[in-house]
Amino acid sequence: MSDSIFKELETSMNQALEIAQGRQKAARVTKYEVADVKAIRSKLNVSQKDLALTMNVSIDTVKSWEKGRRNPTGLASKVLHLIENEPELYTKLTLS
């Protein structure tokens, strides 16, 4: 490992420690909101099976999302957030 890469890693680790100990503020904070799949599905008035078919996932996956055992990730998460904010998009997805 080159000295410059090691120095960058060392600096980052020291900053992380300072932030964790409350002596420094983070430069930026990224927050991820997990979609409330059950609420979205209720708002759309569709069954777990219908949502699973539209999202191209298993019914068990939808159930796991709703019970909080798993969280939607990647494209599924983005699609859920889109249809949460614009429910009419769900109809367009089902027509595809």
Average pLDDT, the chain: 90
Work out the pLDDT band at 52, boundaries 50, 70, 90: very high
Instruction: Band the pLDDT of 4: cuts 50, 70, 90.
Output: confident
Distinct helix (H) and strand (E) counts, the chain: 6, 0
CA distances from 23 to 7, 48, 67 (A): 21, 47, 38
The DSSP call for residue 24 is S
Which of 59, 52, 48 shows the shortest CA–CA distance to 79? 52
What is the pTM assigned to this prediction?
0.66
